[in-house]
């Protein structure tokens, strides 16, 4: 490829937002600056949809030498909490990003109040005494123009007086609101004299009891952008109908002309993406908390063993669209498999153990075998694994009457024990119910891995753990949260679509002794089973592992049936 072609390809924008930013920089708009913001509401934990927005906002600024503010939209004291603030900051940092400024809409409450006063003085805002129900009825519908409030033409002086008295706490919640005076016949319902302020006598997590009136999102959002001189205010697609009002406030107040752009939000199959419904799952104890590994929250994904790189790669892979679409959760799982394959330490864990006795192996003898940590990483080294006369293997790796092409253990069949020896099944023992309780094998002493001189070739290799050295553990196997593919179809009855097998607990698992040193945040591949990580519920007496994802997409097979 020529140098010119390489440069030409480098200049191709990855998505329509990058194209907009490039054009703005080229034209010198806003002095060629790029300043984005990520504005979460601190009323819950961030989920995978927010991760897409984080990657987009911070990624655009990083790519074009700009800055990103982390600004908390804390305008509703009833639902907000410092716990959520701290969790959001932790999630953004964990994803690998840092912000230029940590800001809050509440930083601007005084300025926002003064801006509202300006609109009142211009005759563009008024205090309304109607109830929320009356206002909603009065607004009409997209086919019927709204009716003007009987309070719409109050004098400027009366509105200023009432608004100040609202601020001073003279009125009860819901008694009055401040509305913008726009157009009650506007085809866009958001332009029909929208609410700017409401009374909420609740303690705010940052301002305490200083305020009892709080700005509505549409007013606080755009003006906070203007105050911070945000150049590219990026929102999800449902806010495109809010943009005319965003622009109206900026025009009437003559503030910095921030501009809002919209992209399609992330919708993921088998996944609840509504913060309200996620909160319901937590409050009703359907899940163990916001970081339950079945939850699509960033903290839940982290606890389940997803890596920052896998989530960033996922957000990059699905791209930025202008229309809503539904992304298969299998794409997210593919991204984490791809990353973990490169970095996860391979270990042996037997999830459903059955004892295998090597009858010709010396009793009491223990060998130390060296097993590679990760064949994908030549620098990962090896670890010591003890081997003895009695080991445990997976129950599914033995069949009493094996079918053709079953390359594991059965009467007369031979298989290699991973990193150890070739063994041949000579006999087995059953209990009174017909269950296999013990498998008897002989081993080929000359077949030790790394120094095999036996000349025997077998097609199957299975994992194992030494019975004498095995460490008991609990494994939590997580699966899709919903059995229904498209969560937007479920309505408020979404709970009846929760997958009853979204969590399976295996409590008789045996793992190799090296996992006694397992640490939080490290990823492991249980050979032939999947990717796992240590859970925070682990103690010195009890190891608990979460399955991040299987080695293959089991759901793909179900879909193809």
Which of 265, 337, 448, 476 is the catalytic position? 265
198 to each of 25, 132, 177, 216, 514, how far by Cα in Å? 39, 10, 5, 7, 59
Which of 52, 71, 275, 302 is the catalytic position? 275
- Cβ–Cβ under 8 Å, residues 193 and 181: yes
Nearest alpha-carbon partner for 179 in 232, 230, 132: 132
Which of 18, 41, 338, 485 is the catalytic position? 41
Assess whether 265 carries a catalytic annotation: yes
- Specify the DSSP class assigned to residue 377: -
333 to each of 297, 350, 555, how far by Cα in Å? 15, 23, 11
How crowded is residue 58: how many other Cβ atoms within 10 Å of its Cβ?
Answer: 23
- Specify the DSSP class assigned to residue 335: H
- Specify the DSSP class assigned to residue 96: T
DSSP SS3 for 152: coil
- Specify the DSSP class assigned to residue 491: G
- The span from the CA of 341 to the CA of 332, in Å, is 14
Q: Which residues pair with 475 in a beta bridge?
A: 506, 545
**DSSP states of 24-60:** HHHHTGGGG--EEEE---SSS--BHHHHHHHHHHHHH
DSSP H helices in 82-216: 82-94, 109-121, 132-138, 156-167
- Cβ–Cβ under 8 Å, residues 311 and 335: yes
Residues labelled as active-site residues: 41, 265, 275
């Amino acid at each position: 490829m020529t140098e010119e072609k390489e440069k030409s390809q480098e200049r191709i924008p990855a998505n329509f937002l990058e194209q907009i930013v490039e054009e703005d920089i080229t034209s010198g708009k806003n002095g060629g600056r790029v300043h984005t913001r990520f504005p979460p509401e601190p009323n819950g934990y961030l989920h995978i949809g927010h991760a897409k927005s984080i990657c987009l906002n911070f990624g655009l600024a990083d790519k074009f030498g700009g800055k990103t503010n982390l600004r908390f939209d804390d305008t509703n004291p009833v639902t907000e909490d410092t716990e959520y603030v701290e969790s959001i900051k932790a999630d953004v940092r964990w994803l690998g990003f840092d912000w230029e400024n940590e800001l809050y809409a509440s930083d601007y409450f005084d300025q926002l109040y003064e801006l509202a006063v300006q609109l009142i003085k211009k005759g563009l805002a008024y205090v309304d005494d109607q109830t929320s129900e009356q206002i909603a009825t009065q607004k009409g519908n997209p086919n019927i123009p709204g009716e003007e409030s009987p309070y719409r033409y109050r004098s400027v002086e009366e509105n200023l007086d009432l608004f100040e008295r609202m601020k001073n706490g003279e009125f009860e919640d819901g008694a009055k609101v401040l509305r913008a005076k726009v157009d009650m016949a506007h085809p866009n319902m958001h332009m029909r004299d929208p609410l700017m302020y409401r009374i909420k006598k609740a303690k705010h997590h940052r301002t305490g009891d200083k305020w009892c009136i709080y700005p509505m999102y549409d007013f606080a959002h755009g003006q906070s952008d203007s105050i911070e001189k945000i150049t590219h205010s990026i929102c999800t697609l449902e806010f495109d109908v809010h943009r005319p009002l965003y622009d109206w406030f900026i025009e009437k107040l003559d503030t910095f002309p921030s501009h809002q752009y919209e992209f399609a939000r992330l919708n993921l199959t088998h996944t609840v993406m509504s913060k309200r419904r996620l909160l319901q799952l937590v409050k009703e104890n359907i899940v163990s908390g916001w970081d339950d590994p079945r939850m699509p929250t960033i903290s839940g994904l982290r606890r389940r063993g997803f890596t920052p790189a896998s989530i960033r790669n996922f957000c990059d892979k699905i791209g930025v669209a202008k229309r809503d679409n539904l992304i298969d959760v299998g794409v997210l799982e593919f991204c984490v498999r791809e990353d973990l394959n490169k970095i996860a330490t391979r270990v042996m864990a037997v999830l459903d153990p059955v004892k295998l006795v090597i009858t010709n192996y010396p009793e009491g003898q223990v060998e130390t075998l060296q097993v590679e940590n990760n064949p994908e990483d030549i620098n990962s080294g090896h670890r010591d694994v003890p081997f003895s006369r009695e080991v445990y293997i997976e129950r599914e790796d033995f069949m009493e009457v094996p079918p053709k092409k079953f390359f594991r253990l059965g009467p007369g069949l031979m298989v290699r024990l991973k990193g150890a020896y070739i063994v041949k099944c000579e006999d087995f023992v059953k209990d009174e119910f017909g269950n296999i309780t013990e498998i008897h094998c002989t081993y080929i002493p000359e077949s030790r891995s790394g120094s095999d001189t036996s000349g025997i070739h077998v097609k199957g290799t299975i994992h194992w753990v030494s019975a004498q050295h095995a460490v008991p553990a609990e494994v939590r196997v997580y699966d899709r949260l919903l059995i229904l593919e498209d969560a937007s179809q479920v309505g408020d009855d979404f709970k009846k679509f929760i997958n009853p097998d979204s969590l399976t607990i295996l409590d008789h698992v045996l793992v190799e002794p090296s996992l006694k040193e397992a640490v939080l945040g490290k990823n492991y591949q249980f050979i032939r089973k999947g990717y796992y990580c240590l859970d925070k519920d682990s103690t010195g007496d009890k190891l608990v592992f979460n399955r991040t994802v299987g080695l293959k997409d089991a759901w793909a097979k179900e879909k193809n049936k």
